[in-house]
Structures are given as structure tokens and as C-alpha cells.
Structure 1
Amino acid sequence: MTANRVILVRHGRTTWNATARFQGQTDVPLDDVGLGQAQRTAEALYDQLVGTEVRIVSSDLSRAAQTARALATKLHVEIELDPRLREISAGEWEGRTRDEIIMAWPEDFESWRMGRDVRIGTTGEKRSEAADRCAAAILEAEKAMDHGTLVCVSHGGALRGAIFSLLGTPDWPWNALEGLRNAHWAELQNTERGWRLSRYNVS
């Protein structure tokens, strides 16, 4: 029993995205641009999903839940919230701009920028930790379906890591994939030969 495909959607824009502040697990809602992005993404996905079985699972942070709700409203399905789909916890970096972080933690920021699997913001998570919990939530939801499409609405860092985790990619080549843009999505399929990434950064 598995879904036919899994669509991973990043939330729309927030004011912190617009000002390049690390959000992590701080609960920042969508701004007006983000609300518009969520609606356009809902319309694009609706055209693909209407009339099929769809399950929507979202991070419980408001920016993701708002993005998920736009699609759920059009499809007349319920949203399930799962905190395992939250963004990577960024510890003391949350709420700070990149320039502020570089000033306070230059070596740590450079390690993070280079894609290394380091603990973020001293008290935050490693990329691998966030990836594994996010991938576990995706797998659990996907295995509970016998057909149709699973839509997971989450966050850029958590989703990129989950994709690497599901693909079984060794050595965490973080910079091999560009970041998912706001309100864009990736599509995966669970085939007989394992997970396959079929589309990425679609809008």
C-alpha cells in the first residue's frame, strides 16, 4: 500500500523570507505575496489532482499550513498537521539575517554554507536530523495510502534533506540541488527500484 506519487511543496513567502532572516521553527505567517503564491500553487496543483484521491499533510507551522489550506479548500479535503514536517531548527540563528550570523558565527556559517552536516545555531539541528524526521513523516503517510497522491507541505531545508534521505544519497551532497523556491514543489515516485525524483522546483 503506497501512494502513486508524492508532491512536496514549500510554503509561500513570509516577511522573514523577504528580509533574508533565518526562520527555522519560529512561526512566521505568510505575507501578502506569500498568500498570492499559495493560491497560484493551489490552482496549478488543482488542475492535476482534481477527481483523484489526495491526502494533504502539512507542517504545523502557520506558513506551511496556510499554503496547504489553499489547496485543501479547492479540493475539499482535510489537512493533517504533523510537527515532524517542521523546518530545521536553527537555534540562535532564528530571526537573524545572514550578515548578523556571519558577524557572530563566521566559521559555523561557512560550514553551513558549504553544505556540511553541522549543527545549526549552536542549539539547533543538523540537516540530517531534520531530514530523517521529515522523511519519516512522508513515508508513514505515503504507506498508509493504496493509490492516489500524497501532498506534503513543508519547508525548504527540511524538504531538500528529506529528498536526499529518501533517495539514499550518500555523503549529503547538499549543494547538488538548489533550494526549493517559495510555493514551488518537487515530485517523487516510489518505484520497484526505489525512490525516483521526477520533477523539482516546479511552479
Structure 2
Amino acid sequence: MSARRLVVEADGGSRGNPGPAGFGALVRDPASGEVLAEVAEAIGTATNNVAEYRGLIAGLRAAAELDPGAAVEVRMDSKLVVEQMSGRWKVKHEDMRRLVDEARTVLPGGRITYTWIPRAKNAAADRLANEAMDAAAAGRSWQRAAGAAPAAPPAAPAADADPGEPVTLVLVRPGSTPLTEERRLSGRGGDDPALSERGRAEAAAAATSWEVSHADVIVTSTLRRARETARLLAAAREVEVLPDPAWDAPDLGEWEGLTAPEVTRAWAAEFAAWRTSAAVAPPQGESLDAVAARVAQARERLVRRWAGRTVVVVTHLDPLRLLLRTALDAGPAAHRRLRVDPGSRSVLRLWADGGAEVWAVNRA
């Protein structure tokens, strides 16, 4: 008789790397797709990689509790964990070695296979991990036991708000950096530049705007220019600043730090394809479709958590354009036609049922 088959989906992350961290994992019956167990936990301050490994270990333990003789396929969007656990990449860091060893003791290695999946296909584990990170960021202990029925997200500040109320998003593009001023491409895979003098002035001006003055919380990309802008926005008011990598700029791979003419000279066909297709990624980079998937999930988390409140989101050009054109129900062709300047504010209202209003775009 062949062994029972189970699928483990796992994820983990931190807001700051290191920062408030958590993991989530679930076990599925691969034939029916039924979720057999869920487990998640806020783990305090940790790195993304530690949280991802903690999610893997928790998922394997949940599978072992269901059936210690099962054959398990692990599906994760962490290339690092999948390649290291498959034995194709070396484990150089001592902390990672301990976690790898711990994961390998849960079930016999011959019964486990590892598969990398895109983040968009790991949404269930991502949701659990983000619930755990929300709790960690708020300083709460929180966990979901293996085998427990799906539960409501941890309590949020807007728990007493009318669920029919919209969330108001004030979208602020970070101030300029030296790369902005030189018209160089700058995503999340490059040098992570600080604000320039002009960028600090742009952020300081945004901090005095009426849109930002009504903020109940500030959510920010984890990139340096965004975090510096968020700190300047928060300086004059007592509001929490929550870093979230889902709002980071795209990874532009080998094009990071280059100008458009420089990219065109070396990658003419690839650059033209990237500008016309959301499915095309820069070499070693991230496609706009991949960015859209993480931004959509982050948007839904904000709508669910902050109904009736005003949230300032400090994020970058492409995530901003994605939010605006989704609210406008505009197609991909509209993406590069939306002008959003450094330090500018755009305002949306979003409802849980998918309704949206655009109140302002590129206000400076």
C-alpha cells in the first residue's frame, strides 16, 4: 500500500528584516485541496529567512501529527529554503544550519520533496504569516495551533468600526534620492539609496499636508527612502509606522542603477518587451505581474484591518500606479500614463466589497 500524500504550504517574514516576524503553514490533501491543518505564530523579532524556516518546521510537524508515514510535498515561495533543503545550495550561516537540521529531523528526508511556487500561489500561507506579523508588530503574543479550524484574524484597532465603512488610503511616493535626480532605475534590488536634500524637503512638505494630518497609521515599504519619508511624516503626530515588504518597489535585477538609454543600449529587445508586457521581468528581476500579486494581497489586508480609518501608505511608483489603475478599472495600457511625482499624495477610498473611489492623484 502506497503512503498517504500530503502537501505542506509554508511562509514566513518580518517587517524590517530583522523586525516583527511571524510564520504560517497549512497541510492540504492534494486530491481534494481540503485544508487539514493550519498553524501560525508571531515570533517576535527575527529575519525573513528565520521566519520562513520556522514556518517550514511548523508545517512539517503538522503533517507528521496527521500521518507520520505520509509522503510530503513542501511548496514554498522561498527559493533559498527550497534550494537549501533540496541540497542544491550550501547553508553558510550557523543559525540557518541549526534550522535546517531541525527541519530534517521532523520526517525522514526520503519522503519529502520541495517545490518552489510563485508568491501568488502561496496566498493561504502568506495570509497566515501576515496575521502573525501583524500581531508581532503590535507586540502581541499570538498563535494558531495545528489542526485548529480557521479563525478570525487577530484583533485590530478598527475592530469596532462599521464593516461597511471604507478605508481611506493616502498614497505617498517617497521623496527623491540621488538616483531619482539622475533619472536612474531604482528598485529593491539595488543600493537602497537614502533621500537627497530635495527628497527630504519633499517629504517634509508632504508631512504638513491635510491628507497626511488625518492619518491613523503609516504603512511603509521597507526600502530606506520610504522608511525615511515615513519617519518624517510621523514626526509631527503620534502614529505607528508599520514596515511591510509587500509595498517595496520592484526588483529591477541587472538594470538597477542604470539610465533608460544605458539599458536600451545593452538590452534593447528586453527593455521594449518589459515596457509593453506586465509578464516580462528584467534579467534577474521581478515582473510587474509579480508586483501586482503582492500589492493586491497587501491592499486586501489594509481594507480588512483598517475599515473606517485613514492609512498613509508610503510606497513606490509601480505599486502606486497599480493601486490607482485598479481603482479606476483601467487596463495595463494606462499604467505608464499615470504621473506620480516624488513626495506627492494620491487619495483612494476602498470598500471590502471591491468598491473604490479616487479622490486625488499626484497632489503636491
Q: Tell me the TM-score normalized by structure 2.
A: 0.51
| Inter-CA distance 3–94: structure 2 relative to 1 (3 Å threshold) | same
The whole-number CA distance in structure 1 between the counterparts of 2:333 and 2:279 is: 13
Supply the AA of the counterpart residue of 2:203. Answer: A
The whole-number CA distance in structure 2 between the counterparts of 1:48 and 1:164 is: 20
Out of 282, 287, 290, the residue aligned to residue 126 of structure 1 is 287
1:110 matched to 2:272? The reply is yes
The whole-number CA distance in structure 1 between the counterparts of 2:211 and 2:262 is: 42
1:58 maps to 220
Out of 191, 194, 199, the residue aligned to residue 355 of structure 2 is 194
* Runs of 5+ consecutive residues of structure 2 not aligned to the other structure: 1-162
Task: String of CA shifts for 1:53-102, please: whole Å, max 9, x gaps.
Answer: 61110001010111111111112112000001000111111111111100
Q: Equivalences for 1:148-159 in 2 at 5 Å?
A: 148-159=309-320
Task: String of CA shifts for 1:86-120, please: whole Å, max 9, x gaps.
Answer: 0011111111111110011111222333x421423
Task: String of CA shifts for 1:23-82, please: whole Å, max 9, x gaps.
Answer: 1103111111101100001111xx3454x5611100010101111111111121120000
8 Å Cα contact 1:119-1:127 kept in structure 2: yes
1:23 matched to 2:186? The reply is yes
Supply the AA of the counterpart residue of 1:99. Answer: P
Supply the AA of the counterpart residue of 1:126. Answer: S
Out of 180, 186, 190, the residue aligned to residue 340 of structure 2 is 180
Shift of 1:167: 4.8
Out of 51, 74, 82, the residue aligned to residue 236 of structure 2 is 74
1:33 matched to 2:198? The reply is yes
Choose 1 or 2 for highest CA Rg.
Answer: 2
1:160 matched to 2:335? The reply is no
Supply the AA of the counterpart residue of 2:356. Answer: W
Alpha carbon RMSD of aligned pairs, Å? 2.1
8 Å Cα contact 2:170-2:346 kept in structure 1: yes
Supply the AA of the counterpart residue of 2:177. Answer: T
Shift of 1:139: 2.2
The whole-number CA distance in structure 1 between the counterparts of 2:167 and 2:252 is: 33
The whole-number CA distance in structure 2 between the counterparts of 1:83 and 1:4 is: 20
Shift of 1:178: 2.2
Shift of 1:173: 2.0
8 Å Cα contact 1:84-1:137 kept in structure 2: yes
Shift of 1:168: 4.7
| Inter-CA distance 104–176: structure 2 relative to 1 (3 Å threshold) | closer
The whole-number CA distance in structure 2 between the counterparts of 1:101 and 1:141 is: 36
* % identical aligned pairs: 28
Supply the AA of the counterpart residue of 2:337. Answer: L
Shift of 1:141: 2.1
| Inter-CA distance 65–105: structure 2 relative to 1 (3 Å threshold) | same
Supply the AA of the counterpart residue of 1:189. Answer: R
| Inter-CA distance 90–164: structure 2 relative to 1 (3 Å threshold) | same
2:76 maps to none
Task: String of CA shifts for 1:140-198, please: whole Å, max 9, x gaps.
Answer: 0232123220111010112212333455544x124463231101121111256711222
The whole-number CA distance in structure 2 between the counterparts of 1:179 and 1:99 is: 20
8 Å Cα contact 1:6-1:142 kept in structure 2: no
Q: Tell me the TM-score normalized by structure 1.
A: 0.88
| Inter-CA distance 137–107: structure 2 relative to 1 (3 Å threshold) | same
